[in-house]
């Protein structure tokens, strides 16, 4: 590495399965022990951008559950049938070295819909996060820290005026309104106030209220989200354009999602599920130009663990209104699907920040179920935007 600059990756929800897979994967990539499979940033022509190498990433973060990255990685390895024990052994030392940069904070878990007495006031919680970010950067002499939100789904507060502009939002903080301010908002606000690029990979739409979008512009850092597009919605945004381009009329698109991980447990709560479903529902209408019948069911099936399974039935009308069907079954490890996208987003956010770009990063729309700054949902169009962005920078770098 020599005197090469390093960038921090500070994760909220740092001991969850996705964050743990990000950590193990980054270490394996840094040591040349893993292929680039799954990494969009490693595809041509993106691989010719001056993106951070994986061994220049320094990891830290906090979680509401106790633990450390080594224990978390062992637990995932044992439970999930994803990466091998051998791979874990090969990076165990790297994980141990960063244990000191992981903190536990059970206070960051309130739900806006239920009163939880005894928590510190919001402004103190904001300050706590900012302090952690400052110390993390200082300890490692980091030029930049990208903050990534990977916490569990949270209940979305009603849309209220206090979310519209920064002044009103800061009033909510000052008034300690935990019924209107979510943990995600606190992380995002703290990150942006510290000048850290912010990536919201969760369905917690609170992180992207207008007040925080405005703050990102004002502070001049990248701010992107929401909700990593890893499975059923990825398929929808690849396939719905096919139906549109063939003038096939989608009558119903029913989805059935089975999840066995922490995410699935959270989504068993109707309040939390609402936000997730909102993101999933909007996609078809935007791509097709009309809203077919379409319910999405989410069941928590513990035996599946990290291996989510989704079945979709597309019932569509063809020529002379004859009904036909397509069925899809997607079986994938949630963490393995998500982790490389998180690394991609960190690299792209760092790249943008280095070039002084700020705001909602619509060229990263293909990574999200509900991308900020664009209403384009068709996967292919989203991906073209990334290619165009890349080519523009490659030309500029000449």
Q: Which is closer to a second copy, CB of 29 or CB of 122?
A: 29
Q: Kindly indicate which of the ranges 63-71, 106-114, 135-143, 306-314 contains the residues binding a second copy, using the contact rule CB under 8 A.
A: 306-314
The reply to whether 265 sits near a second copy by the rule CB under 8 A is no
Provide the mask over 231-260, with x wherever binding to a second copy is found by CB under 8 A and - wherever it is not. ---xx--xx-xx-xxxxxx-xx-x-x-x--
Would you count residue 395 as binding a second copy (CB under 8 A)?
A: no
Site string for a second copy, 29-58 (x = CB under 8 A): -----xxxxxxx-xx---------------
* Residue linked to tokens 């951008």: 49
DSSP state of 303: G
Interaction between residue 324 and a second copy (CB under 8 A):
yes
Site size with a second copy, rule: CB under 8 A: 74
Residue 19 in contact with a second copy, rule: CB under 8 A: no
For Cα atoms 285, 282, 299, give the angle at the middle one, nearest 5 degrees.
125
Residues 6+ apart with CB under 8 A from 239: 314, 326, 328
Binding residue for a second copy, selected from 90, 304, 385, 394, defined by CB under 8 A: 304
Radius of gyration of the chain (CA): 21
Of 279 and 366, the one with the shorter C-beta distance to a second copy is: 366
Asked if 326 interacts with a second copy (CB under 8 A), we say: yes
Q: Decide whether 252 or 358 has the Cβ nearer to a second copy.
A: 252
Q: Which two tokens stand for residue 111?
A: 């739900």
CA 31 centroid distance within chain:
25
Closest-CA residue to 261 (of 204, 307, 328): 307
What residues between 129 and 188 interact with a second copy by CB under 8 A? none
Alpha-carbon distances of 36 from 235, 336, 341, 344, rounded to whole Å? 22, 13, 12, 11
Q: What burial class does residue 271 get, using C-beta atoms within 10 Å of its C-beta: 0-12 exposed, 13-18 middle, 19+ buried? A: middle
Provide the total of helices (H) and of strands (E) in the chain, helices listed first: 12, 10
Structure tokens at 303: 């035996």
Does 321 bind a second copy (CB under 8 A)? Our answer is yes
The reply on whether position 270 binds a second copy by CB under 8 A is: no
Please identify, using beta-carbon distances, which residue of 194 and 312 lies nearer to a second copy.
Answer: 312
* Residue 70 contacts a second copy per CB under 8 A: no
Task: Restricting to residues 343-372, name those near a second copy by CB under 8 A.
Answer: 366
């Amino acid at each position: 590495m020599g005197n090469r600059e390093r960038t921090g990756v500070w994760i909220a929800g740092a001991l969850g399965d996705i964050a743990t897979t990000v950590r193990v994967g980054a270490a394996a990539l840094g040591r040349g022990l893993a292929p680039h499979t799954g990494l969009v940033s490693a595809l041509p022509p993106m691989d010719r951008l001056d993106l951070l190498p994986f061994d220049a990433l320094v990891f830290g973060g906090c979680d509401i559950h106790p633990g450390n990255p080594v224990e978390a990685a062992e637990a995932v390895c044992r439970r999930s049938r994803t990466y091998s024990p051998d791979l874990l052994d090969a990076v165990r030392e790297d994980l141990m070295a960063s244990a000191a940069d992981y903190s536990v904070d059970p206070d960051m878990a309130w739900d806006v819909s239920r009163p939880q007495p005894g928590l510190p006031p919001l402004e103190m919680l904001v300050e706590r996060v900012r302090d952690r970010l400052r110390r993390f950067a200082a300890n490692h002499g980091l030029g930049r820290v990208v903050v990534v939100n990977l916490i569990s789904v949270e209940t979305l507060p009603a849309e209220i005026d206090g979310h519209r502009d920064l002044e009103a939002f800061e009033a909510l903080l000052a008034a300690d309104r935990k019924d209107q301010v979510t943990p995600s908002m606190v992380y995002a606000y703290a990150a942006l106030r510290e000048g850290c690029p912010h990536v919201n990979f969760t369905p917690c739409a609170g992180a992207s209220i207008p007040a925080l979008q405005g703050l990102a512009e004002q502070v001049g850092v990248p701010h992107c989200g929401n909700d990593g597009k890893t499975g059923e919605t990825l398929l929808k945004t690849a396939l719905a354009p096919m139906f549109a381009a063939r003038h096939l009329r989608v009558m119903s698109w029913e989805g059935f999602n089975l999840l066995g991980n922490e995410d699935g447990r959270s989504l068993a709560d109707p309040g939390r599920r609402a936000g997730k479903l909102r993101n999933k529902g909007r996609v078809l209408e935007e791509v097709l130009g009309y809203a077919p019948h379409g319910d999405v069911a989410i069941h928590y099936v513990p035996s599946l663990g990290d291996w989510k399974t989704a079945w979709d039935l597309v019932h569509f009308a063809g020529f002379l209104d004859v009904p036909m069907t397509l069925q899809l079954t997607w079986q994938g490890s949630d963490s393995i699907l998500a982790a490389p996208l998180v690394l991609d987003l960190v690299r792209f956010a760092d790249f943008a920040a280095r070039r002084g770009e700020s705001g909602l990063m619509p060229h990263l729309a293909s990574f999200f179920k509900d991308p900020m700054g664009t209403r384009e949902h068709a996967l292919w169009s989203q991906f073209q935007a990334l290619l165009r962005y890349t080519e523009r920078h490659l030309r500029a770098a000449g």
